[in-house]
Homo-oligomer: A and B are copies of this chain.
Amino acid sequence: MTHLQQQRERAELFRRLHHGSEILILPNIWDAASARVYELAGFPALATSSSALAAALGYPDGEAISRDHFVEAVARIVRVIHVPLSVDVESGFGKNIAEVLETIQAMLEVGAVGINLEDSTKDAQPVLVDSAYQVELLHAVRALGVQQQVPLVINARTDVFILDERETPEAIEEAVKRGNAYLEASADSVYPILAHGRATIEALAKGIDGPVNVLASGRTPTIPELAEIGVARVSFGGSIMRAALGQLRAIGEELRTTGTYRALTENTLPSKDFESLFD
């Protein structure tokens, strides 16, 4: 099987996972090790977290990292996994559609089969981009995928709830309107990031005519509850890395105080499992 055939199959598998009987749980990873741990744990697909991937390389979130370093980091992940990988490309590392397409093209070249694409600006005070621009962009991304023969899975993020955390009826209406416009513009799913209240999520899942991705967190309903109210896909952003870094901090605290190894050793990945990550 050629690389392209393999990539096409992964993209098709990934798309089907949005329409299965079970909710799609996508752990957000940032490097080869975190990716392999979740692949070996049986997750059928993986997604990068932009903030976690940037942090692993030493940069804040928000396209501060160079596109080249970003692409190389994604390539290192794809190289070692056998399941579909979706990449959070933020706003696409570009000032216009042509530049964003260069980023997506690079993602396709290194083997990604899905992307997240945001609809707010990277300004100090971000604003939503014009919906018409985002629709044009999504059409262009789909056309690129067709041209490259990869049925790319496009997760269209709408940042309505970043800008309006109160989940007002107006915000919900705007998110539904944008979501449906993005689906019509060939997005495969809609990601109203930070939507967290049960009623809000239910309204979004009902109003948006396609798969909805929820950022699951301590503020949202549990995954079975999200499945019940019609959510198709959950992801976790940078929170999985933050949990790992919290564990590092706890280990350090114990080493410096009692000088013991409880946090270091309990629930650790056994050496034999670690050594078999990259056999």
Contacts and interface: CB of A to CB of B under 8 A. Distances in A.
Interface of A: 25, 27, 31-34, 36-38, 41-43, 51-52, 54-61, 64, 76-77, 79-80, 216-218, 222-227, 236, 238-253, 255-256, 258-261, 263-265, 267-271, 274-275, 277-279
A267 B252 contact: no
Given A217-B265, A265-B217, A245 B43 contact: no
A244 B244 contact: yes
A245 B277 CA distance: 11
A42 B249 CA distance: 11
Contacts of A250: 267
B241 A33 contact: yes
Contacts of A271: 238, 242
A58 B77 contact: yes
Contacts of A261: 216-218, 222
Given A55-B277, A278-B58, A268 B246 contact: yes
A133 B224 CA distance: 62
Contact of A252 (B31, B41, B76, B258): B41
27 contacts: A25-B255, A25-B259, A27-B252, A27-B255, A31-B56, A31-B57, A31-B58, A32-B56, A33-B58, A37-B252, A38-B248, A41-B249, A41-B252, A58-B80, A58-B278, A60-B277, A61-B275, A217-B264, A222-B258, A223-B255, A225-B259, A238-B271, A240-B248, A240-B251, A243-B251, A243-B267, A244-B245
| Top 6 A-B pairs, shortest CB-CB distance | A223-B259, A32-B58, A245-B269, A246-B268, A33-B55, A58-B80
A267 B246 contact: yes
A60 B247 contact: no
A7 to B, nearest CB: 18
A77 B216 CA distance: 31
Contacts of A264: 217-218, 236, 239-240, 243
Given A41-B256, A240-B264, A242-B269, 4 more contacts: A31-B57, A58-B76, A238-B274, A244-B245
Contacts of A38: 248, 252
Nearest to A262: B218
